[in-house]
Amino acid sequence: MTNKSENNNSNSPPNTAKVSSPILIPRTVSYDVGTNPPRRGGTTYLDMGDSKSARRRRSSSILQIYQEPQEPIEQLNDQSTLPNLNANWVNAKGAWTIHIVLIVALKILWDVIPGVSQETSWTLTNISYMFGSYIMFHYVRGVPFDFNSGAYDNLNMWEQIDDGAQYTPAKKFLLSVPIVLFLLNVLIYHLIESSHESRPIFRWRVTRYSEFQSLSLPEPIKDYHNRIFTERDDSNYMISAFQSQALIFLARAIGAKRVLEIGVYVGYSAMVWSHAVGPQGKVTGLEYSEEYAKLAQEAWKDRGYENIDVHVGPAAETLTKLADISEPYDIIFIDADKTGYSGYLRQILEMSAPGAKNRLLRPVAIIAADNTLRQGLVADPSESNPWRPADFDNPESFQAIAVAAISEYNDLAGDNDRLETFLIPLWDGLHLSRLVD
């Protein structure tokens, strides 16, 4: 056996002479210069470039070819004496399954980290396996076992496996694992992506089915919705047909006869409330824009909805003028400027104090606030929300201001002892609050 420190000596003589080393006695081997030393089991060396020297080549960069120095004879001799524990396990029964187990373990590890999506977790599994296997097979030398007095100190794992032979079953398998893992990663990524794409279609079908199974909207209301939708660029202000069905159901379930709406636009939802409360009921609308109010009034008149009034001006001001109302409202629907929501709620509660003479809302009435999920941004403002606008990090941006205001409203309603709340993920979010006193 050679001394390990001798093997690590970079001044070790090259294999250029007929050798009969006294150090190796009693296991001395002799062979001629230019021929390979005898190999365990009689295997022959595979040429890696220079067929005469049988040296293995490794490239340290794309452009340079690194020439591995000749292994010292003592080292070659040591390598030929005993089986290589470092590399032989690779061919042991069941050894290949370790890679599958490792990949599964890595996947679980990345999955348990909060905030890591499925796509990211697969990519991290891929990268960490590739990195780990590169370190293990190609970077570190002479490991895992300090074996045969360092006989394999100059060789990395890949060079040790199958005595350096290429295209062996073990090497084909080890090469195929990262390739298959990468392809699997790409496939899974696309499957996840396509399932995201199909989700809106799936949701749309479910909503269509639910609409079909729910109370029907009168033709004039359906027509007006379609007309606004096709004719106006700002038609996304309107509530959806499905939400209209829900509001009618809600109003009728509590026997509502008087509805106050903050934010009328061109009068669609007021028409829905009008239908819900019936001709004996009353709908009051508060609208900032005179132009919208005018269009709304024309639409109501044309379609025969006569029980709706609209007050033009900023709703916070108009609300105070409603203080002398003779009969309290059963429902207040808030669907106007989002930054005004919290203020409207405070005003409504103040104007509906228990025992007060002219209450705005009757006891056990409902406050329904629209857009209270704000495209899910109040619940999940992270990058994984597809609706998150690019400027969302800017607190001055339109959406950031709206989301902050809605969050404040949701908390204000949710934390108030006078209210019992239920936030429905219907359309853009409908926050229902029941006034308990």
Residues that bind ligand SAM (CB under 6 A): 237-239, 263-265, 268-269, 286-289, 292, 314-315, 335-337, 340
Distance CA 158, CA 136 (A): 9
Are 275 and 218 contacting, i.e. CB atoms less than 8 angstroms apart?
A: yes
Pick the closer one to ligand SAM by CB: 181 or 217. Answer: 217
Residue 215 phi/psi, 5-degree rounding, is -55, 145
Q: Which residue is nearest to ligand SAM (CB)?
A: 263
Q: Which of these, 219, 226, 217, 227, lies nearest to 248 by C-alpha position?
A: 217
Toward ligand SAM, which CB reaches closer, 283 or 286?
286
Ramachandran area for residue 163 (φ above 0: left; ψ -120 to 50: alpha; else beta): left
Q: Are 352 and 436 in contact (CB under 8 A)?
A: no
Minimum Å gap between C-beta 268 and ligand SAM is: 4
CB of 200 to ligand SAM, least distance (A): 22
For the four alpha carbons of 197, 203, 206 and 212, in that order, the dihedral sign comes to negative
Instruction: Between 37 and 340, name the residue whose CB sits nearer to ligand SAM.
Output: 340
Smallest gap from residue 319 Cβ to ligand SAM (A) = 9
Q: With b meaning 16 or more CB within 10 Å and e meaning fewer, what string describes 302-313?
A: ebebebbebbbe
**How near is the Cβ of 436 to ligand SAM at its closest, in Å?**
26
Residue 122 vs 224, nearer CB to ligand SAM: 224
**Closer residue to ligand SAM, CB minimum distance, 264 or 331:** 264
Q: How far is the CB of 325 from ligand SAM (least distance, A)?
A: 18
CA distance 263 to 363: 23
Tokens 């005179």 identify what position? 290
* Residue 388 Cα distances to 13, 373, 378, 380, 397, angstroms: 67, 12, 10, 9, 12
Minimum gap (Å) between residue 134 Cβ and ligand SAM: 57
Tokens of residue 245, six digits: 């069905």
263 or 429, CB closer to ligand SAM? 263
- Indicate the residue among 12 and 289 with the shorter CB distance to ligand SAM: 289
Least Å from the CB of residue 428 to ligand SAM: 10
